[in-house]
Amino acid sequence: MSSHGKKIMLKGNHDYWWNSLKKLNDYLKLNNFKNCSFLHNNAFEVEGKVIARN
């Protein structure tokens, strides 16, 4: 997996396993993924633009 850049992932329409942002963030922390984030009832500012999804 490339480590270049920041990855922002969001839930797809078949991701029934995706229940909690806390569980996803715990997984990232446990596996030392520092360049990944999940978009789920939150927002990110990237290059002066805001990415949001509810």
Q: Could you read off the pLDDT tens digit of each residue along the chain, which spans 54 residues?
A: 556 788 999 888 888 877 888 988 999 999 999 999 999 888 999 999 999 976
Q: How much is the pLDDT for 15?
A: 82
Q: What is the pLDDT of residue 3?
A: 60
Residue 2's pLDDT is: 54
| Residue type for position 51 | I
Residue 45: CB partners within 8 Å, gap ≥ 6?
51
Q: What is the pTM of this model?
A: 0.73
Contacts (Cβ under 8 Å, ≥6 apart) of 14 = none
- Lookup result for tokens 């997984």: 27
**In which element (H, E) is residue 16 found?**
none
Please name the residue that has the structure tokens 């229940």: 19
Q: For the chain, what are the domain ranges? A: 7-53
